[in-house]
Structure 1
Amino acid sequence: MNESLSPNGASKDNDVSKDIVWHEDTVTREHREVNLDQRGCVVWFTGLSGCGKSTIANELDRLLIEHGAASTLLDGDNVRHGLCAPPAVLAVEHGDEFATRFGLGFSAIDREENIRRIGAVTTLMASAGLITLAAFVSPYRRDRDRVRKMVETSGQEGDFFEVFVDTPIEVCQQRDPKGLYKKAIAGEIKNFTGISDPYEAPEKPEIHLTHREDATPTDQAKEIFDALLRCGVISH
């Protein structure tokens, strides 16, 4: 890792606050990875709502655990209950002023902060040697690229695996497990990706999962699992 950078990619010498100092750990990332017999990394699932991100990520998590790997999974809906909670959730415990300042909705700038927070967390987890799975719509290419930079600055190039779950919007609408597309089309949900907000597909994802009727989530998870084996993230 470049010693002039902190793991989030910011310069240690040009921080806004000189009172915030980066402390190197006594136990290094290399120590943790040797102890776990794996390489810490982030597997980032992106795609439209209903494309299958969470289902495939959960299957991959299961395959990794069964293999003896140390993995963890961050899911888009789950983090909205805590780390990236909307104002209405925060207001209950913290009041309106706090909720307005720190709660996240679904505007472009809120989505940017949502992914920034998650990116920081996944970077810390990968630095601890964990295979970190993240399943988020993450519609903007710039935000995903920023997470890649954070992860690879903390470790090395190749520690970030972008997985594009490329399911046609027509299929996602047919599935619509939470009824979100129906609400978005009816105008009941604003800033909904694919309907009233854009989705910027990855240009060069490490893994591109195209929609196939004969491919199960386990099949697709196995494809990613095999890629992690080939890259040396996990051993045979």
Structure 2
Amino acid sequence: MNEMLPLPALRISPHALSLSSVDRAALKSQRPRCLWLTGLSGAGKSTLANALEVQLNQRGLHTFVLDGDNLRAGLCRDLGMGADCRRENIRRMAEVARLMVEAGLIVIVAAISPFRAEREAARRLFAEGDFIEVYVSTPLAVCAQRDPKGLYLAARQGRIKDFTGVDSPYEAPLHPECEIDTQVPDMSRACLRLMEFVLKK
């Protein structure tokens, strides 16, 4: 009976591809990159990512949004909410984003991704300048007041454990390439500011 080899025993050699990421990007006439939106739950990351993608699409750019909740419903649905599973969730998201950037797309990631070490690990997957950390810095009080999914209430009632911002920390970026506060003055203005930043880059 054949036995499965444990992963460390396998000899994995990435296959060299004839087309490079530069070739794929040239076909789309754009510079692919990853815009990584991080911030508390309710900060407006998903709303901002969606609005930004619409704006970029209208300008003829090729994009895709990787939303944390959407990946939890598919690729990462086997993961729980413990510390190890949350790290694996971010690792998978970063690897998918890297593949999409290699395919020539502008990828917009919207994920709480609360820990700096995990965001830095994601950054290291990309070439210099291809990873843009966007800190959606909407304050905790505003996020908790919005509470669109009722998560803050559930966390404060003890029905959810290790919830970021309540009983689990959020490590704000120290040097993000861009910082957006979605409460001032409004979401449309926040999207415009981010759009101007992206186009300038």
Pairwise CA distance, 1:78: 0.7
The runs of at least 4 consecutive aligned structure 1 residues that moved more than 2 Å come to 15-19, 210-213
Check if 1:69 corresponds to 2:61.
yes
* Structure 2 match to 1:34: 26
Pairwise CA distance, 1:56: 0.5
Query: 1:219 is aligned with what amino acid?
Result: R
Check if 1:179 corresponds to 2:171.
no
Query: 1:223 is aligned with what amino acid?
Result: R
Structure 2 CA distance, aligned partners of 1:145 and 1:82?
24
Q: In 2 relative to 1, CA 111–197 (structure 1 residues): closer, same or farther, beyond 3 Å?
A: same
Q: TM-score, normalised by structure 2?
A: 0.93
Q: Is the 8 A contact 1:59 1:217 kept in 2?
A: no
Check if 1:221 corresponds to 2:191.
yes
Structure 1 CA distance, aligned partners of 2:54 and 2:79?
30
Query: 1:135 is aligned with what amino acid?
Result: A
Pairwise CA distance, 1:17: 4.9
Pairwise CA distance, 1:210: 2.9
Q: Is the 8 A contact 1:70 1:131 kept in 2?
A: yes
Structure 1 CA distance, aligned partners of 2:92 and 2:194?
25
RMSD: 1.4
* Structure 1 match to 2:177: 206
Aligned length: 195
Classify the secondary structure of the residue corresponding to 2:34: strand
Unaligned runs of 5+ residues in structure 2 are: 1-6
2:129 to 146, 158, 163: 158
CA deviation string 1:139-178 (max 9, x = no partner): 011000000001x2xxx20100101000111111110011
Q: Is the 8 A contact 2:41 2:112 kept in 1?
A: yes
* Structure 2 match to 1:119: 94
Classify the secondary structure of the residue corresponding to 2:124: helix
2:71 to 68, 71, 79: 79
Classify the secondary structure of the residue corresponding to 1:188: coil
